[in-house]
Structure 1
Amino acid sequence: MNLSEYHQNIEQVWLKIEECLEQQDCDVDCDIHGSVFTITFADRSQVVVNKQEPLLELWLASKAGGFHFSFKEDNWITTDGKLFWQCLEQACHTHGEKVSFS
Protein backbone atom coordinates (compact mmCIF):
# COMPACT_ATOMS: atom_id res chain seq x y z
CA MET A 1 0.00 0.00 0.00
CA ASN A 2 1.39 3.38 -0.93
CA LEU A 3 0.85 6.55 1.11
CA SER A 4 -2.06 7.78 -0.99
CA GLU A 5 -3.86 4.44 -0.69
CA TYR A 6 -3.18 4.43 3.05
CA HIS A 7 -4.85 7.82 3.53
CA GLN A 8 -7.82 6.85 1.33
CA ASN A 9 -8.25 3.64 3.33
CA ILE A 10 -8.18 5.47 6.66
CA GLU A 11 -10.71 8.04 5.41
CA GLN A 12 -13.04 5.14 4.49
CA VAL A 13 -12.57 3.64 7.97
CA TRP A 14 -13.43 6.94 9.64
CA LEU A 15 -16.49 7.42 7.41
CA LYS A 16 -17.72 3.91 8.22
CA ILE A 17 -17.30 4.52 11.96
CA GLU A 18 -19.35 7.72 11.80
CA GLU A 19 -22.06 6.18 9.62
CA CYS A 20 -22.45 3.09 11.82
CA LEU A 21 -22.60 5.13 15.02
CA GLU A 22 -25.23 7.44 13.48
CA GLN A 23 -27.33 4.62 12.01
CA GLN A 24 -27.43 2.84 15.37
CA ASP A 25 -28.35 6.02 17.29
CA CYS A 26 -25.34 5.87 19.59
CA ASP A 27 -25.03 8.67 22.14
CA VAL A 28 -21.54 9.76 21.04
CA ASP A 29 -19.75 12.69 19.46
CA CYS A 30 -17.16 12.14 16.74
CA ASP A 31 -14.37 14.59 16.04
CA ILE A 32 -11.46 14.59 13.62
CA HIS A 33 -8.36 16.69 14.25
CA GLY A 34 -5.55 16.06 11.80
CA SER A 35 -4.61 12.40 12.09
CA VAL A 36 -6.77 11.71 15.16
CA PHE A 37 -10.40 10.52 15.17
CA THR A 38 -12.03 10.72 18.61
CA ILE A 39 -15.29 9.16 19.75
CA THR A 40 -16.55 10.78 22.96
CA PHE A 41 -19.20 8.92 24.94
CA ALA A 42 -21.96 10.26 27.22
CA ASP A 43 -19.75 9.80 30.30
CA ARG A 44 -17.01 11.87 28.55
CA SER A 45 -14.75 8.81 28.14
CA GLN A 46 -13.12 8.43 24.73
CA VAL A 47 -11.98 6.00 22.10
CA VAL A 48 -9.17 7.36 19.93
CA VAL A 49 -8.35 6.04 16.47
CA ASN A 50 -5.33 7.58 14.85
CA LYS A 51 -3.13 7.33 11.80
CA GLN A 52 0.49 6.33 12.23
CA GLU A 53 1.65 7.43 8.81
CA PRO A 54 5.37 6.59 9.16
CA LEU A 55 4.44 2.96 9.89
CA LEU A 56 1.33 2.87 7.67
CA GLU A 57 -0.58 1.68 10.74
CA LEU A 58 -3.89 2.41 12.39
CA TRP A 59 -3.92 2.68 16.18
CA LEU A 60 -6.85 2.28 18.57
CA ALA A 61 -6.81 3.37 22.21
CA SER A 62 -9.58 3.08 24.82
CA LYS A 63 -10.13 1.89 28.35
CA ALA A 64 -10.39 -1.58 26.76
CA GLY A 65 -6.72 -1.31 25.74
CA GLY A 66 -4.47 -0.11 22.97
CA PHE A 67 -3.83 -1.82 19.64
CA HIS A 68 -1.69 -1.29 16.53
CA PHE A 69 -3.10 -2.52 13.21
CA SER A 70 -1.41 -3.13 9.86
CA PHE A 71 -3.31 -3.59 6.62
CA LYS A 72 -3.03 -7.21 5.42
CA GLU A 73 -5.29 -9.22 3.15
CA ASP A 74 -7.94 -6.47 3.03
CA ASN A 75 -8.16 -6.15 6.83
CA TRP A 76 -6.66 -3.99 9.55
CA ILE A 77 -5.15 -6.59 11.84
CA THR A 78 -2.78 -6.79 14.83
CA THR A 79 0.32 -8.98 14.81
CA ASP A 80 -1.57 -11.49 17.00
CA GLY A 81 -4.60 -11.64 14.67
CA LYS A 82 -7.10 -9.24 16.23
CA LEU A 83 -9.27 -7.42 13.69
CA PHE A 84 -9.81 -3.67 13.95
CA TRP A 85 -13.60 -3.76 13.63
CA GLN A 86 -13.97 -6.37 16.38
CA CYS A 87 -11.66 -4.42 18.70
CA LEU A 88 -13.59 -1.21 18.01
CA GLU A 89 -16.91 -2.92 18.78
CA GLN A 90 -15.47 -4.19 22.06
CA ALA A 91 -14.06 -0.76 22.90
CA CYS A 92 -17.43 0.91 22.29
CA HIS A 93 -19.16 -1.73 24.40
CA THR A 94 -16.66 -1.14 27.22
CA HIS A 95 -17.53 2.55 27.00
CA GLY A 96 -21.27 1.80 27.21
CA GLU A 97 -22.44 1.63 23.58
CA LYS A 98 -23.43 -1.60 21.89
CA VAL A 99 -22.69 -1.13 18.19
CA SER A 100 -21.94 -3.34 15.20
CA PHE A 101 -19.52 -2.38 12.45
CA SER A 102 -20.22 -5.46 10.29
Structure 2
Amino acid sequence: MNITDYHQNIEKIWLSIEEQLEKNGADVDCDTQGSVFTITFENRNQIVINKQEPLFELWLASKLGGYHFSFKNNQWITNDGKLFWDCLEDACQHYGEQIHFSR
Protein backbone atom coordinates (compact mmCIF):
# COMPACT_ATOMS: atom_id res chain seq x y z
CA MET A 1 0.00 0.00 0.00
CA ASN A 2 1.38 3.40 -0.90
CA ILE A 3 0.77 6.62 1.05
CA THR A 4 -2.08 7.76 -1.20
CA ASP A 5 -3.88 4.41 -0.93
CA TYR A 6 -3.35 4.45 2.84
CA HIS A 7 -4.99 7.85 3.28
CA GLN A 8 -7.83 7.05 0.88
CA ASN A 9 -8.55 3.78 2.66
CA ILE A 10 -8.78 5.40 6.08
CA GLU A 11 -10.82 8.36 4.82
CA LYS A 12 -13.33 5.86 3.38
CA ILE A 13 -13.47 4.10 6.75
CA TRP A 14 -14.12 7.37 8.58
CA LEU A 15 -16.87 8.32 6.13
CA SER A 16 -18.43 4.87 6.43
CA ILE A 17 -18.39 5.06 10.24
CA GLU A 18 -20.08 8.45 10.26
CA GLU A 19 -22.70 7.39 7.70
CA GLN A 20 -23.53 4.16 9.53
CA LEU A 21 -23.77 5.86 12.92
CA GLU A 22 -26.15 8.43 11.45
CA LYS A 23 -28.18 5.78 9.58
CA ASN A 24 -28.62 3.83 12.83
CA GLY A 25 -29.68 6.91 14.79
CA ALA A 26 -26.73 6.79 17.17
CA ASP A 27 -26.64 9.69 19.63
CA VAL A 28 -23.04 10.66 18.89
CA ASP A 29 -21.00 13.48 17.42
CA CYS A 30 -18.18 12.79 14.96
CA ASP A 31 -15.29 15.16 14.42
CA THR A 32 -12.17 15.02 12.28
CA GLN A 33 -9.12 17.09 13.16
CA GLY A 34 -6.16 16.32 10.91
CA SER A 35 -5.25 12.68 11.38
CA VAL A 36 -7.70 12.11 14.27
CA PHE A 37 -11.35 11.02 14.02
CA THR A 38 -13.31 11.25 17.27
CA ILE A 39 -16.70 9.80 18.14
CA THR A 40 -18.18 11.49 21.21
CA PHE A 41 -21.13 9.89 22.98
CA GLU A 42 -23.93 11.62 24.87
CA ASN A 43 -22.20 10.90 28.20
CA ARG A 44 -18.97 12.53 26.83
CA ASN A 45 -17.12 9.22 26.47
CA GLN A 46 -15.05 9.04 23.31
CA ILE A 47 -13.64 6.65 20.78
CA VAL A 48 -10.55 8.03 19.07
CA ILE A 49 -9.41 6.63 15.74
CA ASN A 50 -6.26 7.98 14.23
CA LYS A 51 -3.85 7.52 11.39
CA GLN A 52 -0.29 6.55 12.18
CA GLU A 53 1.20 7.45 8.83
CA PRO A 54 4.85 6.60 9.60
CA LEU A 55 3.78 3.03 10.46
CA PHE A 56 0.92 2.76 7.92
CA GLU A 57 -1.32 1.81 10.85
CA LEU A 58 -4.80 2.69 12.08
CA TRP A 59 -5.19 3.11 15.85
CA LEU A 60 -8.37 2.91 17.93
CA ALA A 61 -8.63 3.95 21.58
CA SER A 62 -11.56 3.72 24.00
CA LYS A 63 -12.12 2.74 27.63
CA LEU A 64 -11.83 -0.86 26.45
CA GLY A 65 -8.21 -0.26 25.47
CA GLY A 66 -6.01 0.77 22.61
CA TYR A 67 -5.47 -1.18 19.40
CA HIS A 68 -3.01 -0.88 16.55
CA PHE A 69 -4.21 -2.22 13.20
CA SER A 70 -2.18 -3.05 10.10
CA PHE A 71 -3.69 -3.62 6.68
CA LYS A 72 -3.36 -7.33 5.87
CA ASN A 73 -5.39 -9.53 3.55
CA ASN A 74 -7.62 -6.59 2.62
CA GLN A 75 -8.63 -5.80 6.24
CA TRP A 76 -7.39 -3.85 9.25
CA ILE A 77 -6.22 -6.32 11.88
CA THR A 78 -4.10 -6.36 15.05
CA ASN A 79 -1.07 -8.60 15.47
CA ASP A 80 -3.18 -10.91 17.64
CA GLY A 81 -6.01 -11.19 15.08
CA LYS A 82 -8.58 -8.64 16.26
CA LEU A 83 -10.47 -6.93 13.44
CA PHE A 84 -10.97 -3.16 13.41
CA TRP A 85 -14.73 -3.32 12.84
CA ASP A 86 -15.24 -5.80 15.69
CA CYS A 87 -13.27 -3.62 18.11
CA LEU A 88 -15.22 -0.55 17.02
CA GLU A 89 -18.55 -2.34 17.55
CA ASP A 90 -17.43 -3.51 21.00
CA ALA A 91 -16.44 0.03 21.99
CA CYS A 92 -19.74 1.50 20.75
CA GLN A 93 -21.69 -1.17 22.61
CA HIS A 94 -19.69 -0.46 25.77
CA TYR A 95 -20.89 3.16 25.52
CA GLY A 96 -24.51 2.09 24.97
CA GLU A 97 -24.87 2.22 21.17
CA GLN A 98 -25.76 -1.13 19.57
CA ILE A 99 -24.26 -0.61 16.12
CA HIS A 100 -23.36 -3.39 13.71
CA PHE A 101 -21.07 -1.92 11.10
CA SER A 102 -21.09 -3.31 7.60
CA ARG A 103 -17.58 -3.81 6.35
Q: TM-score, normalised by structure 2?
A: 0.98
The amino acid across from 2:94 in the alignment is T
Match of 2:42 in 1: 42
Structure 1 segment 59-78 matched on structure 2, within 5 A:
59-78=59-78
User: Could you give the per-residue CA deviations for residues 41-88 of structure 1, whole angstroms, max 9, x where no partner exists?
Assistant: 000010000000000000000001110000001100000000000000
Tell me, yes or no, if the aligned pair for 1:28 and 1:39 is still in contact at 8 Å: yes
Query: What pairs up with 1:1-102 in 2 under 5 angstroms?
Result: 1-102=1-102
Q: Report sequence identity in percent.
A: 68
The alignment's TM-score, normalised by the length of structure 1, stands at 0.99
- 1:63 touches 1:95 (CA, 8 Å); kept in 2? no
* Native 8 Å contact 1:30 1:38 kept in 2: yes
Task: Tell me how large the CA RMSD over aligned residues is.
Answer: 0.4
SS in 2 for 1:81: coil
- Once the two structures are TM-superposed, the CA of residue 21 in structure 1 deviates from its matched residue by 0.1
Give the match's secondary structure for 1:48.
strand
Q: Helix, strand or coil: the match of 2:90?
A: helix
Using CA pairs under 8 Å that are at least 6 residues apart, name the structure with larger relative contact order, 1 or 2: 1
Q: Which runs of 5+ in 2 are unaligned?
A: none
| 8 Å Cα contact 1:62/1:91 also seen in 2 | yes
**Whole-Å separation in 1 of the counterparts to 2:48 and 2:96:** 15
